[in-house]
Copies of this chain bind each other. A is one copy, B any other.
Amino acid sequence: MASNIGKNVRIQVFGQSHSAAIGVTIDGIPAGKRIDTDELQAFLDRRAPGRLPWVTPRKEADRVEFLSGLVDGVTCGAPIGAVIANTNTRSSDYARLDRVPRPGHADYVAREKYHGAQDFAGGGHFSGRLTAPLCVAGGIALQLLREEGVRIGAHLARAACIDDACYPLQGITADMLDAAKGKDMPVLDDAAGQAMAQAILAAREACDSVGGVVECAAIGVPVGLGDPMFDGVENVIAKYCFGIPAVKGIEFGVGFEAADLAGSVNNDAYRFENGKVRFESNNAGGALGGISTGEPVVFRLAFKPTPSISGVQHSVNLDTGQNEDLSVRGRHDPCVAVRAVPVVEAVCALALYDMMLESRMR
């Protein structure tokens, strides 16, 4: 695998759903940065299971423990090692999955790629649980970026075909970015959130699941981050984002809609305002030619519906060579996009912070 990423801040995620622990190492963070570990834990709690209306309460605490890299809460220059214990595993739920692969999951391709040696329990390293260490690293990057004046937020922009309100492409405030944080349904418009929750519950009762879209924005990003052609803002953010399980698409600014616009409409024109160059619009989503424009970086991610559904699906028994139907048991979110919201903030922060460090090298 290659669960490592980053040029300047290099993270390595490790662990499987049912291994002794999951964790992350983080190398390259400058020394002397105070990390608020309580705030970090609170950030982690935003993605923790156990709180959503459709979830059986779990006791998984997801407490992060720092093994190294911090001295009295301050980065010392040495690599950070952080682990989260796996305490609440029910491997029996997965006993059959090594031979009857779940549609929509990596079970079958992992068996082929790793010649049967893959850890199938709980989805192994493919489990959504591995987004917790991503949030540890990203939560640190969020704190470091805030010191630099960069704020990041995300929300569930769509689920079960129901739209939340959207961030505007210009004029996004820190309050807007914080609006969805701390809510069970991380949306801007609570009425939409309630409708989504009902639709998700209904899908669950129908032994099914639904997909969604997460929108993320970063404000305060200085002009000039990103290195074209291949370490530009979009390249780097996209590479991180596709590390989140279930992401199938990403678009920046007006995104796919740009393909339908005329140049005269899509171009973000310039005007002076109080002696400073201002963009009249931000259809580009904060990046031109791979370089940040100073406008909000805005992007949307498509999340496919949770593949694990209790409804009966076609599958195969790889041992017997016979077709076999499957109904997936276990505790699964019927809409992975909901809990993915802080994860998207996390990877956005990691990408931007890496580019920010890069930009210091003049």
Contact = CB atoms under 8 A, between A and B. Distances in A.
A64 B198 CA distance: 48
A171 interface: no
Closest 9 CB pairs of A and B: A106-B289, A249-B251, A209-B263, A31-B114, A78-B125, A269-B314, A2-B231, A104-B267, A113-B224
B270 A316 contact: yes
A303 B260 CA distance: 9
B249 A288 contact: no
Report how many copies the assembly holds. 4
Interface in A280-311: 280, 283-285, 288-293, 302-309, 311
A321 B285 CA distance: 25
Interface string A120-150: 0100111000100000000000000000000
Contact of A14 (B69, B318, B321): B69
A115 to B, nearest CB: 5
B224 A232 contact: no
Interface in A57-94: 65-69, 71, 74-81, 83
A5 B249 CA distance: 21
Given A20-B66, A243-B235, A270-B101, A311 B264 contact: yes
B106 A288 contact: yes
A307 B230 contact: no
Interface string A254-283: 111111111111111111100101001001
Interface residues of A, number: 151
A289 B110 contact: yes
A248 B238 contact: no
A67 B235 contact: no
A252 B256 contact: no
Given A27-B1, A30-B361, A68 B16 contact: yes
B238 A250 contact: yes
Contacts of A121: 71
A174 interface: no
Given A2-B28, A250-B251, A263-B304, 4 more contacts: A23-B81, A232-B242, A270-B315, A361-B361
Contact of A269 (B207, B313, B361): B313
Interface in A1-45: 1-5, 7-8, 10, 12-16, 19-23, 25, 27-28, 30-32
11 contacts: A1-B228, A2-B231, A3-B78, A126-B228, A208-B264, A209-B262, A248-B258, A248-B285, A269-B314, A270-B316, A283-B304
